[in-house]
């Protein structure tokens, strides 16, 4: 897997089952950029602790609320109308690109916050996903399992 968070995320997202898992987690309220960051940190062997979790949430929360979510909401609202209106469809595609760019910038911010955290020596390195997705119902557990499998599959 790639060393930077953006490349890691793009490569992982292209693997079978990952998009569906991410969308399932997103539908349950998870911040997929935080989930991808958590998986990246797990793969790097970084210890998960409350201070680090809060730091990542502090980075992600405001950007997600002010930038990513409004773009996603607009893109989603235009979905049905854009099928019938080519001009709106073109605008929707531009919004989709902006949303992806906003997510890329969020991943870069998360990497800047966590990129120098050292590797850990304990089982806390594998707790990122469970702790970032607190509402781990069966759908979330299945999605998290698919993500972990995809991340370690060559």
Could you read off the pLDDT tens digit of each residue along the chain, which spans 154 residues? Answer: 458 999 999 999 999 999 999 999 998 889 999 999 999 999 889 999 999 999 999 999 999 999 999 999 999 999 999 999 999 999 999 999 999 999 999 999 999 999 899 887 777 677 898 888 876 566 677 888 899 889 887 7
* β-pair partners for 119: 46
List the domain range (segments joined by +) for residue 137. 5-152
Residue 81 has phi, psi (to 5 degrees) of -65, -35
**125: nearest Cα among 109, 114, 136:** 114
How many domains are contained in the chain?
1
Are 26 and 34 spatial neighbours (Cβ–Cβ below 8 Å)?
Answer: no
Which pLDDT score is estimated for 137? 64
């Amino acid at each position: 897997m790639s060393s930077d968070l953006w490349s890691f995320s793009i490569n992982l997202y292209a693997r079978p089952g990952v998009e569906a898992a991410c969308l399932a987690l997103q539908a349950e309220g998870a911040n997929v950029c935080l989930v991808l960051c958590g998986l990246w940190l797990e793969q790097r062997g970084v210890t998960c602790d409350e201070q680090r979790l809060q730091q990542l949430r502090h980075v992600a929360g405001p950007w997600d609320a002010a930038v990513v979510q409004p773009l996603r909401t607009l893109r989603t609202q235009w979905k049905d109308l854009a099928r019938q209106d080519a001009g709106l469809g073109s605008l929707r595609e531009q919004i989709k690109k902006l949303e992806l760019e906003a997510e890329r910038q969020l991943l870069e911010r998360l990497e800047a916050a966590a990129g120098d955290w050292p590797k850990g020596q304990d089982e806390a390195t594998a707790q990122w996903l469970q702790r970032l997705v607190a509402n781990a119902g069966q759908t979330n557990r299945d999605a998290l399992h698919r993500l972990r499998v995809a991340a370690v599959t060559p």
